[in-house]
Chain A
Amino acid sequence: MSMKTNKKGLPLHVKKHEGVNPLFIKQRFLRFYRRHRDGVVAYSLLAPVLIYFAIFSVFPVLFVIYLSFTEWNGLMGFPQWIGLRNFRAFFTDLDYVMTLVRAGIYGFIILFLNMIIGFLTALLLNMKIKGSSVIRTIWYLPVIVPFSVVAQMASIILNPVDGVIKNIMLLFTDKPIVFQQSAYWMSFWLIVISVWKGVGHTVIIYLAGLQNIDMSLYEAAQVDGASGFRIFKNITLPCLRPITMFVLITGTINSFLIFEPVQLITQGGPHGATNTILFRIFQDAFKNFDMGMAGASSVVVLIITLILSINQYRVSQRSIV
């Protein structure tokens, strides 16, 4: 039995003043659904991810930006608005500025070494030799070792009183170097450990790139009598350009945001000389409970990574074209 309706599709017995009628809502929804079917399906499917993203990414970022203009210990009362005071403190305190500079220097060196060593190792591992898959696995092992384990290893190796390296040095000299007393040495070890831990990943990516190069290009070059160096220069290197761009793009920000080795190995020492921006933020937030300064430093990092990301996006677009 069909129901009699008015021009607007409302059942005749429903009057406007009777309020919201479930039947009316259902019909309105069905009409909207028919008209925007694709959009409704798409947003329904996306909704869980969008809600997750809003709660765990967008809200924290906005909250940190708000905190950067306030003074708050994270516990008592509400954040007090203090304007730009935290940012002024950041840029006038040499300690803070240096953590940023240091992160940049460490990041650049780590990325550079990672790419060079990763590339050269991938070339070697790409050779068809016996047990190559075992050697590849060994190279990748440091990547899957947790940093806390790496830190424990580092403390055994670098222990200033009875560490492995100290005992080796004692075989040659009466006055072994105490690494922990020198900012340069501890920076050196931070870089070495970071590169050792991360290079396996770069190797695998380059290796995948090398194995994707069309073999017919090499065969054609060999037929034409090209030397090994020319083949490397004119075939291998150009074919690996997209891979290099990928490593550069993903590696730049990761290297700049160096944290675990600083926290677990040097704790910023000696006398703060190996402290980096992320560890500074951690100290402010969870040691000093100064959420305002931690927020301001985070905003500075956010702006820098945003600039780096935009720049890298442009470069990658150009390289694709």
Chain B
Amino acid sequence: MEKKFPGITINYVDKGWADVLRENLMLATMGGNSPDVGVGEDFIPEFARIGALTELPQEMAKDLAEGPISAAWHDGKLYAVASMTGVLGLVYNKDVLHKAGLTENDIPKTWDEWLDVSRKITEAGKGEFYGTVVQNNQLGGTFRIIPFIRQLGGDYTTPDWSKVTFNTPEVLKALTFLRELSKTAPPGSTSLNDEGALYVMVNTGKVCFYVNGPWFIAWSKSQTPAGNIGYAPLPLPEGGKRANVIIGNTLWYVLKQSKNQEAAIEFVRILASREYQEKMSVATSRLPANIEAAKNPELLQKVPEMAVYAEIVANEPASPLPVYPKNGPKIWETWYKVQDVVLISDNPIEKALEEAQKTAEELLK
């Protein structure tokens, strides 16, 4: 990079993640002040549609895994490359498990077992520790709900993302299960807006189970004291099949407003390369999207916990969150209300799904 573009410096500015990042990027672009290169996860097709992103050469995606890169396409054109990626697994605090008189043999493999173990832990904790914390807050919650719907064969949309499928038996069953599970969580925790607070609960032994991605490994180890944490695949419903979601997927793109197009494209090319991703994944304990980099034996030696996530990637079909063809943010806002109804109220889930379906269909017209 330095040889090709002498004197170029890269200034990294943190502008948040998920909804916050999307808003900041949109505002910067509206103001004609967007960065040369950006990172994000769930809004690439939306930004490509409004003409804010530069199309990238398709050969840049050839070594990247299909799941992580699938959210980088729009209208058959490539607009981003995937760097670090992730799927969801069951994170558990071993100390809590032991305090409740359980062992790692009791790690649940099915929904029923999970509910049962979680109830036992909450009962044993007597207000000191709890079974499972279920994340609700907005997009973070949406990501953590979808694997359970997909395990039953459902989704938020039809496979072509053209129609909303909120009001289906699969969604209802998954949400009913999560509501039951959330009753074993610390009271009020589903009302927290701060995802970090949930990490702390698991790490410090206030909660046993939580659904999270591989980035939690490095985060937990960096805490003082580090949590005694274990990792497992997500439990399955009766008759369900393994399924997951692409999450924590860092997609890098070039903004059309950038005055350094060539250098910016070269930079994202480097981010997609095997050499960069091998080094980066080992340094940050993250899962690389580059297929060759993911085979790097050094990664599993240094971060043995990653083996669980590598197994999930190998055995669970995973795709990103759907992108709605129209009014995406408003449709998600409608869905967030469903999450609230399920996880912080006793109102009927069926009615909430019915209303959300109706509103979303209107928004898609």
Q: Which residues of A does B touch, CB under 8 Å?
A: 73-76, 159-161, 166, 174-176, 178, 180-181, 267, 269-272, 283, 286-290
Q: CB distance B23 to A286 under 8 Å? A: yes
Contacting residues, chain A, for B26 (C-beta < 8 A): 74-75, 286, 289
- Mostly, the B contact residues are helix
Residue of A nearest to B186 (CB): A161
C-alpha spacing A270/B136, complex, angstroms: 11
Instruction: Name which residue of chain A comes closest to B22, CB basis.
Output: A287
Indicate which residue in A174, A267, A269, A288 contacts B329 across the interface (CB closer than 8 Å): A288
Quick one: which of B165-205 are within 8 Å of A by CB?
A: 186-189, 191-193, 197, 201
Chain B residues near A75: list those with CB within 8 A: 26, 29-30, 50-52
CB atoms of B345 and A161 under 8 A apart = no
Say yes or no: A161 contacts B193, CB within 8 Å: no
Q: Complex: how many Å from CA A315 to CA B209?
A: 62
Q: Which residue of A lies closest to B206 (CB)?
A: A161
By beta carbon, the residue of chain A nearest B24 is: A286
- In angstroms, how far is the closest chain B Cβ from the Cβ of A214? 54
The distance in angstroms between the C-alpha atoms of A73 and B192, with both chains bound, is: 31
**Cα(A289)–Cα(B29), bound, Å:** 12
Query: Does residue B344 face the partner (Cβ distance < 8 Å to A)?
Result: yes
Binding site for A on B (CB under 8 A): 19, 23, 26-27, 29-30, 50-52, 127, 186-189, 191-193, 197, 201, 327, 329-330, 333, 336-337, 340-341, 344-345
B51: which A residues are within 8 A, CB to CB?
75-76
CB distance from A25 to the nearest CB of B (A): 40
Question: When the two chains form their complex, are residues A178 and B191 in contact, meaning their CB atoms are under 8 A apart?
Answer: yes
Complex contacts, A160 vs chain B, CB 8 Å: 187-189, 191-192
* Chain B min CB distance to A149 (Å): 17
Q: Give 7 A-B contacts (CB < 8 Å), ordered by A residue.
A: A159-B192, A160-B188, A178-B187, A178-B188, A178-B344, A270-B345, A286-B26
Interface centre among B19, B186, B191, B193, by most A CB within 10 Å? B191
Top 10 closest A-B pairs, CB basis? A160-B188, A180-B191, A271-B340, A76-B50, A178-B188, A288-B329, A271-B337, A160-B191, A181-B344, A74-B30
User: Which residues from chain B contact A270 at a C-beta distance below 8 Å?
Assistant: 191, 340, 344-345
Whether B340 contacts A289 by the Cβ 8 Å rule is no
9 further A-B pairs in the complex, CB-CB below 8 A; given A74-B30, A178-B344, A181-B191? A76-B51, A161-B197, A175-B187, A176-B187, A180-B188, A267-B193, A272-B337, A283-B333, A286-B26
Give chain B nearest CB distance to A193 CB in angstroms: 17
CB contacts (< 8 Å) of B330 on chain A: these are 288, 290
In the complex, A22→B77 CA distance in Å? 62
CA gap between A159 and B187 in the complex, in Å = 11
Among B186, B193, B327, max chain A CB count under 10 A is at B193
